[in-house]
Structure 1
Amino acid sequence: MAATATLSSVEAEKLEKLRSAVSGLNQISENEKSGFINLVGRYLSGEAEHVDWSKIKTPTDDIVVPYDTIAPPPEDEVKTKELLDKLVVLKLNGGLGTTMGCTGPKSVIEVRNGLTFLDLIVMQIENLNSKYGCKVPLVLMNSFNTHDDTLKIVEKYTNSSVEIHTFNQSQYPRLVVEDFLPFPCKGQTGRDGWYPPGHGDVFPSLKNSGKLDLFLSQGKEYIFVANSDNLGAIVDLKILSHLVQNKNEYCMEVTPKTLADVKGGTLISYEGKVQLLEIAQVADEHVNEFKSIEKFKIFNTNNLWVNLNAIKRLVEADALKMEIIPNPKEVEGVKVLQLETAAGAAIKFFDNVIGINVPRSRFLPVKATSDLLLVQSDLYTVADGFVIRNPARNNPANPSIELGPEFKKVSNFLSRFKSIPSIIELYSVKVVGDVWFGAGVTLKGKVTVNAKSGAKLEIPDGAVIADKEINGAEDL
C-alpha cells in the first residue's frame, strides 16, 4: 500500500499490528477495514500538508463566480424537467441532536409548525417533482448512530412522490492513543468503540453502497450534497443549469463571511489549484489573519454539487486523499483518536471546479437553540417546505442571538417561551440566567435580559423591549 512507503520502521510495525487487530473485527466490511487502514497509514506517514502562507492567492471571479452573474435557468418546462432528471439530492444525516438535548437523528427535530428538517426536505422535492414532472430522488447518508431510527422515520413517506434512498457511511474503530489499537479490541463492544469518519467519507460510501452505480445507470449526472440541518440548502436550478452547461465536475457554494463565521473554511488558489483552507491547517501565527473578514471574505457553506461520473473515476482510482482531521476524544477515561475527512476538501482532486458566491439565504443552519429561535420567529415563514425570509426585515443580516445554558436543550428552550418573540427589528439579544418569556413579546434594537443569580425573571405577555438592558422586574 502506498501509504506505508514513507513510514519509519516503528510506524510500519504499529500499522501492521493494527492491521492484524482490525482483520478480526467482524462488525465491519472489508471495504471499511481497508479504508480505515489506508487512512491510518496516511496519518502515520505524517502526510498532513502544511500550507505555505506566501503561496496563497485570492481566487478570481472566474473561479469563485458571483451568483448574480450566472445566467437564469431555462424557462421552458420541458428543458427544466430534463435538467432536474439529471439530479440526485443527498443530505448528510449522520448527526445526532445530542448538543440540543435530543435523542435520535438531528433531522427529526421539529423546526416549525410541527414540521421536522426531514419533512421540509421531502416537501421541497415533492414540490419540484410535481411541478416539473421529474423524478429527483432523495438520498440520506446515515451513520450507524442514526441508521435504525431513520429507517423507521422514512416509513411515513411511503406514499410520497419522492423516491427515498438511505445508506450508511463507514464505521471505523476509535484508536486507543496509548497503544494505537482499536478500542473494540479492548473490550469496548458497544457503540462507543466506533465513529463515523466525517462527511468526506460520502464519496467512497456512495460507491460502496451500490447507489452511485444505480444513479449512473438511471442517467443521473449531478449530486447536490448538503447538511440536513441547513434550511437554506434547497435545489437551485440556476446553479444546476450553469454546471451542466460548463461541465464543472465540482462546485462549492460559498457566501460572504461575517464575524460569526470566522472559523469556517475558505477557498483559495494554491499552486495553480483551487482548494479549501481550514483553520486546522493554519499555523498559529496566521490564525488571526485567517479569521479576518478583510483577507478571506468567503466561507464554505458545505452545499456541494458534484458530477457522479467524476466521483466514480476518482474513488475507483483511490485518488481522494483529503486532509486528515485528527479528533481526540476521551471515552470512559480512555484517550482515543478519531481520524476524519471533510467533503469540501475533495475539491482539489476534481477537474474544472468552481465556487459560487451565493446569497446568505442559502446558508441557514440550525446548530443550536439560538438558531431555532431565528427560524421559529416572524423573521421566517414556511411555504411548500421552503423557509422564506420576511421581506419586512430591512437589515440583510440576521440578529445576533445569545441564549444562556438554561436554553440549551430544545425542551427547556420551548418551555421558556410562551410564544417566540417578534424579532423583525432586533439587532442583538443576550439572555442570561433564569428568564421566562410571556406570549406576544417584541424585541427591538439591542436588548440584554440579565436575571440576577438565583432570581427568576418573567417577561410579561405583550412586553415591547427596545434598546434596553433588563436586570429585574423593576426595569420592565
Structure 2
Amino acid sequence: MSSTGLDRARAKMAEAGIDPVAIETFAHYYRLLEHGETGLIPESSIEPIDSESLSDVDVDAETASAALRTTAVIKLNGGLGTSMGMERAKSLLCVRKGMSFLDVIARQVLHLRREHDARLPLLFMNSFRTSTDTMDALARYADLPVDGLPLEFLQNREPKLLPKDLTPVVWGRDTDLEWCPPGHGDLYTALRGTGLLQTLIDQGYERVFVSNSDNLGAVPDASIAGWFAESGAPFAIEAVRRTPSDRKGGHFARRTSDGRIVLRETAQTSKQDRAALADLDRHRFCSTNNLWFDLRAMAEALDARHGILGLPLIRNVKTVDPADPSTPEVIQIETAMGAAIEVFEGARTIEVGRDRFVPVKTTNDLLVLRSDVYDVGNDFVLDPAAGVPFVDLDPEYYKLVPEFERRFPQGAPSLRAATSLKVSGDWTFGPKVKVVGDVTLESGAAERVPPGSVLEHD
C-alpha cells in the first residue's frame, strides 16, 4: 500500500522537475513515516542546557568586520502568511510607511556593506509561491545582487499525503494545493542541489547566517559573526530566555545518550511530556531561528550522508486547503533547520537579547511592529524604545490582515507607554490614539476609538 504511495510520490516529483536529491530526501522521511516514526523526543531522553551569553563575549572590531566579510546571509522567505489571510509573500507586508519587511532587510544589508566594507551577499530562499512577488519587489535595489551569486534560490516542494494510505493527494480545484514545502530543514538540501553551497565556498565565503524574513531583529551582527569565527564551532543557534509566551513552543536540550544539543519542537513532544515542555525553570532557552553554520563543515556532513542530513522527522497534520478546515486531512512531511544542531559535534548556542527575536506570526505582533515601540535608525535596525507590550486582539475581527487594516485605517496607536492591550469585540481606532499601562477594550457592538484618545487602565 505505502510502497505504491511512495512510487506515486516519486513519479509526481520527478514529473515536476524536482531535484533528485530532494526526491531521495523525501523518500527517506517517507519510509520513516510508514514505519511509524513520530519524531517524538521523550523528556526522559534529554536534560536542560545552559548557554553562554553574547553580553559576555568580547570580540574586537576588526575581528568582527573580518568575519562579516566572509559571511553570506540567507533569509527564509517561503511563507505566504495564510494564517493571516494573505495570498502573497508575507514579507511584502508594510511595517513602516513605504517600507515592507523586504525593504528593511535590503537596507539593513546595504548599510552593513558600507560600514564593514563587506560584500555580504543576501540570498532569499523562496518557495514556488513567493518567488515572483519577492523578486519584483526587490528589483528597485539594483545594487543588492552580488556578482556571481543569485538573489534567490527555490525551496523544494513535495506532495501532501493522504493519511489512510500515504498516497499523494489529488485536488482538482487547485493543483497547487497538492504540494507543500518540506519545512525549512529543506534549506540544506536546496543549497546543495542548486550548487550554491559549493559556489559560496569557491568564492571564499566561510560561513552563513540564516534567519526568517519575518524577524527584522535578525540583523547579520558582526560581533556574533566574530564570535562564531573564533569559536571554531561548525554550527550555532542564537537562543533567548523563554518567557510565558513561549510555554507552548520548542526549546533546546541535551540528549543524554551522546551529549549532543537537540531542539525539541512542540510537534515532537508527547502529551505526557507537555508539562515539562512548558516548564520555564527546567528548559530555559528557545530558538530564535537565527543560525550560523560553517560552509565547509556543512558540505562535508552532506557529502558523508549522500545529501541527506538526517534531521528528525516532523509529521504535520493539516488540511489540503489550510484556509478551509472542511477540506480533507493530509500529512505533510517536514523538518526544521534548527534541528541540524544535533548533527554537528561541538555545535553551540549563544544567548542573545529579545531585540534579535521580533517574529511576526500574528496581527498582534504586526501591531506592535507598526507602532512606536521600535525606532528605526539610519542603519535600519529595530531599536526598542520601550518594553514590548503584550497585545491580544480579538481574532474574530483582527486575525486576517485585511480586517486588521480596516480597523487601524490611520495606523497603529502609540504603544510606547503601554504594558498590555487586550481588545475584545469590533473596535476601529482613529488617528493619534495613545495606550498607557494595561488597557482592555470590550464591547458587544462595533465601536470607535476617537482620534487623539488616551486609553488608560480604568
Q: Structure 1 length as normaliser, TM-score?
A: 0.88
Residue of structure 1 in register with 2:25 after alignment: 35
Residue of structure 2 in register with 1:172 after alignment: 158
Q: How far is the alpha carbon of 1:298 from its aligned partner?
A: 1.4
Residue of structure 2 in register with 1:104 after alignment: 88
Is residue 296 of structure 2 the alignment partner of residue 317 of structure 1? no
Preserved CA contact (<8 Å) 1:23 1:33: no
Residue of structure 2 in register with 1:403 after alignment: 393
Structure 2 distance, partners of 1:54, 1:172, is: 33
Residue of structure 2 in register with 1:414 after alignment: 405
Match of 1:14 among 2, 15, 22: 2
Preserved CA contact (<8 Å) 1:119 1:385: no
Is residue 242 of structure 2 the alignment partner of residue 257 of structure 1? yes
Residue of structure 2 in register with 1:156 after alignment: 140
Q: Which amino acid aligns with 1:96?
A: L
Q: Which amino acid aligns with 1:403?
A: L
> Aligned residues: percent identity?
33
Q: How far is the alpha carbon of 1:387 from its aligned partner?
A: 3.9
Structure 1 distance, partners of 2:4, 2:412, is: 57
Change in CA separation of 1:95 and 1:21 when aligned onto 2, cut-off 3 Å = closer
Within a 5 Å distance, the mapping from 1:55-134 to structure 2 comes to: 55-60=45-50, 64-72=51-59, 74-76=60-62, 79-134=63-118
Q: How far is the alpha carbon of 1:189 from its aligned partner?
A: 7.2
Structure 1 distance, partners of 2:406, 2:40, is: 48
Two-structure CA RMSD over aligned residues (Å): 2.1
Q: Which amino acid aligns with 2:7?
A: R
Change in CA separation of 1:366 and 1:317 when aligned onto 2, cut-off 3 Å = same
- The C-alpha deviation readout for 1:188-210, integer Å capped at 9, x for no partner, is 77201111100011011111011
- SS of structure 2 residue aligned to 1:181: coil
Match of 2:439 among 422, 441, 447: 447
Q: Which amino acid aligns with 2:155?
A: Q
Q: How far is the alpha carbon of 1:402 from its aligned partner?
A: 0.8
Is residue 313 of structure 2 the alignment partner of residue 331 of structure 1? no
Q: Which segments of 5 or more consecutive residues in structure 1 lack a partner in the other structure?
A: 1-12, 469-476
Preserved CA contact (<8 Å) 1:83 1:241: yes
Preserved CA contact (<8 Å) 2:42 2:269: no
Is residue 425 of structure 2 the alignment partner of residue 436 of structure 1? no
Structure 2 distance, partners of 1:337, 1:146, is: 22
Is residue 258 of structure 2 the alignment partner of residue 269 of structure 1? no
Change in CA separation of 1:180 and 1:58 when aligned onto 2, cut-off 3 Å = closer
Preserved CA contact (<8 Å) 2:355 2:384: no
Structure 2 distance, partners of 1:152, 1:375, is: 24
- SS of structure 2 residue aligned to 1:182: coil
Q: How far is the alpha carbon of 1:55 from its aligned partner?
A: 4.1
Is residue 168 of structure 2 the alignment partner of residue 182 of structure 1? yes
Structure 1 distance, partners of 2:345, 2:110, is: 32
Q: Which amino acid aligns with 1:18?
A: L
Preserved CA contact (<8 Å) 2:64 2:223: no
Preserved CA contact (<8 Å) 1:401 1:429: yes
Structure 1 distance, partners of 2:45, 2:317, is: 30
Structure 1 distance, partners of 2:153, 2:400, is: 29
Structure 2 distance, partners of 1:285, 1:96, is: 33
Residue of structure 1 in register with 2:188 after alignment: 203
Structure 2 distance, partners of 1:189, 1:284, is: 35
Residue of structure 2 in register with 1:379 after alignment: 373
Structure 2 distance, partners of 1:191, 1:292, is: 40
Preserved CA contact (<8 Å) 1:172 1:197: yes
Is residue 276 of structure 2 the alignment partner of residue 289 of structure 1? yes
Residue of structure 2 in register with 1:368 after alignment: 362
Residue of structure 1 in register with 2:34 after alignment: 44
Structure 2 distance, partners of 1:356, 1:460, is: 46
Structure 2 distance, partners of 1:158, 1:28, is: 30
Q: How far is the alpha carbon of 1:279 from its aligned partner?
A: 2.2
Structure 2 distance, partners of 1:380, 1:290, is: 31
Q: Which amino acid aligns with 2:151?
A: H
Q: Structure 2 length as normaliser, TM-score?
A: 0.91
- SS of structure 1 residue aligned to 2:61: coil
Change in CA separation of 1:425 and 1:20 when aligned onto 2, cut-off 3 Å = closer
Preserved CA contact (<8 Å) 2:238 2:351: yes
Change in CA separation of 1:327 and 1:48 when aligned onto 2, cut-off 3 Å = closer
Structure 2 distance, partners of 1:386, 1:342, is: 29
Q: How far is the alpha carbon of 1:86 from its aligned partner?
A: 1.2
Is residue 450 of structure 2 the alignment partner of residue 467 of structure 1? no
Q: Which amino acid aligns with 2:295?
A: L
Residue of structure 2 in register with 1:10 after alignment: none
Structure 1 distance, partners of 2:263, 2:384, is: 33
Preserved CA contact (<8 Å) 2:39 2:315: no
Q: How far is the alpha carbon of 1:174 from its aligned partner?
A: 1.2
Higher mean displacement: 333-342 or 315-324: 315-324
Q: How far is the alpha carbon of 1:158 from its aligned partner?
A: 2.2
Higher mean displacement: 311-320 or 373-382: 311-320
Q: How far is the alpha carbon of 1:222 from its aligned partner?
A: 0.8
Count, aligned residues: 443
Residue of structure 2 in register with 1:215 after alignment: 200
Is residue 415 of structure 2 the alignment partner of residue 423 of structure 1? yes
Residue of structure 2 in register with 1:4 after alignment: none
Q: Which has the larger radius of gyration?
A: 1
- SS of structure 2 residue aligned to 1:157: coil
Change in CA separation of 1:19 and 1:430 when aligned onto 2, cut-off 3 Å = same
Match of 2:11 among 23, 28, 47: 23
Q: How far is the alpha carbon of 1:284 from its aligned partner?
A: 1.7
- The C-alpha deviation readout for 1:310-331, integer Å capped at 9, x for no partner, is 1111222225211111112222
Residue of structure 2 in register with 1:7 after alignment: none
Q: How far is the alpha carbon of 1:57 from its aligned partner?
A: 2.0
Structure 2 distance, partners of 1:159, 1:273, is: 41
